[in-house]
Amino acid sequence: MTILNKPFTTLYKTAPFSEIKTKNYLPAFKAGIERAKSEIDAIVNSNDKPSFKNTVEALDYSGEELDRLSSIFFNLNSAETNDAIQKIAQEVSPLLSEFSNDITLNKDLFKRVKSVYDSKADLNLTTEQETLLSKKYKGFSRNGANLAEDKKKELRAIDKELSHLKLTFGEHILAETNKFEMHLTDESDLSGLPEGAKEAAKQLAESKDKEGWLITLDYPSYIPFMTYADSRKLREKLSKAFGSKGFNNDELDNKDNVLKIAKLRCKRAQLLGYKTHAHFVLEERMAQTPEKVTTFLNELLEKAKPAAVQEFATLEAFAKDLDSIDHLQKWDSGYYSEKLKQKLFSLDDEQLKPYFKLENVIAGAFTVAEKLFGLQFKEINTIDKYHDDVLTYEIKDHNGQLVSIFYADFFPRAGKRNGAWMTSYKPQMIKNGINERPHVSIVCNFTKPTKSKPSLLTFNEVTTLFHEFGHALHGILANTTYPSLSGTSVFWDFVELPSQILENWCYEEETLKLFATHYETGAVIPMELIEKIKSSSTFHEGMQTLRQISFGLLDMSWHGVDPSEINDVKAYEVASFGDTSLYPDVAENCMSTSFAHIFQGGYSSGYYSYKWAEVLDADAFEYFKEEGIFNKEVANKFKAFVLSQGGTENPMTLYKKFRGQEPKPEALLRRAGLIK
């Protein structure tokens, strides 16, 4: 038995990272699966008549040790991986897939669950219990419990292969990201780059014993170069490297993985009686059908496209006047957009960054959470970490009771994938009368401190931090009985509401005055800069909306049709981008081969949910604006009906309890400046 198979004896039962050896994981998974199987067997072999408590509730609490182990291991595989961990992931994922199928395809277990489900009218269940029962029943019926034995065998084989393919897809992207370096030795090649970005590039080169400067595909390196570097030729080189991840006809190519994943998902859905993967997925979403999603996206497209086309024409004319650029390319987008923004609003990120020292922004997010929800954050160093960069916090309520443990991991490194995400190391649940509090984490990739400057964030990074912190609050304030309904365990097109609504506070003077102070002088951000942030917030909103719609439509084009006849990933992608394209296509690039959200993460048939949730968050924030952005009554309602409730009720029911009405899309269109 490894340390991972015993109850943790650490403070707050946190993960004992420093005591875990990589070699512990595989035996721990095998033992954890066996323990979970015995818990399932105990439910199946019970001589007692199936009841909600001895079957449905017991099933939800089963596998707790295995779930914790999985969360620790797979979180590290995203945030602090290496070859050994990736190798174990390839070995473990099929085992977990097989175990999952052992549950959903267990005839005797399903028989017990169905018995409870069929008698639910007589059980006097709470709303949460009804939701859990329905979820468990559908978990079987939607995953093959009613299939014939030969079809069950086929389903197992598909799931096993999919688990391999998704891991490989992600490993290829990480390897491509780590492999590319643009080594510059002529300082003139960095013309236009802010001093902070130049210093970071020099520091990176020094860390690898190289002269000059290193630019990589990690966001804190890539974004500043694409936004500020005057060299169009080098922007093109970097842009093409970024856009060709998984598309280089080498051992890291993802084209076959994309086709195999899309085709296997559709085959799986059809095996279960659904037309496509999207039909299967969306049955358990607010949107319900691919047709409704496509209609939603196309209606937004209709509103956004005229604005986007006009914005693009203005940008192209601006680039022509400034630098005689006849046709804008994708590697011109960030550069000329930033120049135009500076001209229109006399505002650029370099002006703002001194007011957004990372430590101050973290404190600002905490202050917002305190003012809205009464949470108190205290950094503590008595909790084990998986890397020195990680910050750890104790969160308590106004009575001094523990609410959650919070981890924050902000800087890029070789073993960490790009992007930003929220995750959990321990779920919230009420078991044996004890409210087990969650351990929540956010992971980002911000610019590291240099020798002369602390970590200073762009405004976009500030909103990213608030976004992930919004997800974290959904986990932190969870207060449900059952783990599978707790925190962010909600319909996928509802999960972005808590994250996206919190971004709104970043644009408010009342919030910015709490934390936006100059890192050298301590001066509060000037009102004129706050006004510029607000007035520029809808800059290129049409183009941004078009971009998000294009990703949602690409997702639907892979998953909302039968892809069995598709054999050219690039050609298919270009066709799906048809109505949303503004820039000329780049032959060397392909988005699908690095679209981790849908081919590795959980967003397949769900990328539209960002825009869907924007309708919710714009409508919800209008309520806060009407009553005051720190209004306790509105905040308490949001906490009571959204943040604490997880997936215990239908999300529209919860939203209406908070808002008193269904969301109106006009709020989003108003905020985006697309209607008056």
Chain segment 642-666, per-residue pLDDT in tens: 999 999 999 999 999 999 999 988 8
Mean local confidence (pLDDT), 456-481: 97
Instruction: Write down the mean pLDDT value for the chain.
Output: 96
pLDDT band per the 50, 70, 90 thresholds, residue 550: very high
Collapsed DSSP state (helix, strand, coil) of residue 292: helix
Model pLDDT, residue 672: 84
- CA 516 vs CA 85, 359, 511, 512, 529: distances in Å: 40, 11, 8, 5, 11
Model pLDDT, residue 567: 96
pLDDT band per the 50, 70, 90 thresholds, residue 205: very high
Strands (DSSP E) contained in 427-544 are 429-431, 434-436, 439-443
pLDDT band per the 50, 70, 90 thresholds, residue 239: very high
Mean local confidence (pLDDT), 29-39: 97
Mean local confidence (pLDDT), 617-641: 97
Residue whose structure tokens are 């919004």: 470
Evaluate if residue 670 carries a pLDDT over 90: no
How does pLDDT run across 501-549, given as a tens digit for each residue?
Answer: 999 999 999 999 999 999 999 999 999 999 999 999 999 999 999 999 9
Residue % of the chain over a pLDDT of 70: 100
- Of the ranges 227-236, 451-460, 665-674, which one carries the lowest mean pLDDT score? 665-674
Evaluate if residue 605 carries a pLDDT over 90: yes
Predicted structure pTM score: 0.91
How does pLDDT run across 119-165, given as a tens digit for each residue?
Answer: 999 999 999 999 999 999 999 999 999 999 999 999 999 999 999 99
Distance CA 301, CA 288 (A): 20
- CA 442 vs CA 6, 152, 364, 492: distances in Å: 26, 37, 16, 18
How does pLDDT run across 303-350, given as a tens digit for each residue?
Answer: 899 999 999 999 999 999 999 999 999 999 999 999 999 999 998 888
Q: Which of 459, 468, 351 is nearest to 419 (CA)?
A: 468
Evaluate if residue 355 carries a pLDDT over 80: yes
Model pLDDT, residue 1: 65
Evaluate if residue 290 carries a pLDDT over 80: yes
Structural domains of the chain sorted by starting position, each given as residue range(s) with its CATH number in brackets: 3-146 (1.20.1050.40), 180-243 (no CATH), 255-347+541-607 (1.10.1370.10), 354-535+610-671 (1.10.1370.40)
Angle at which helices 127-141 and 107-118 cross, to 10°? 140
Residue % of the chain over a pLDDT of 90: 95
Sequence-distant contacts of 253-257: CB under 8 A, at least 24 apart: 253/172, 253/593, 254/169, 254/172, 254/173, 254/592, 254/593, 254/594, 254/599, 255/569, 255/570, 255/590, 255/593, 257/165, 257/168, 257/169, 257/172, 257/593, 257/599
Distance CA 513, CA 523 (A): 10
Model pLDDT, residue 323: 96
Model pLDDT, residue 421: 96
Evaluate if residue 668 carries a pLDDT over 90: no
Question: Which residues does the annotation mark as catalytic?
Answer: 468
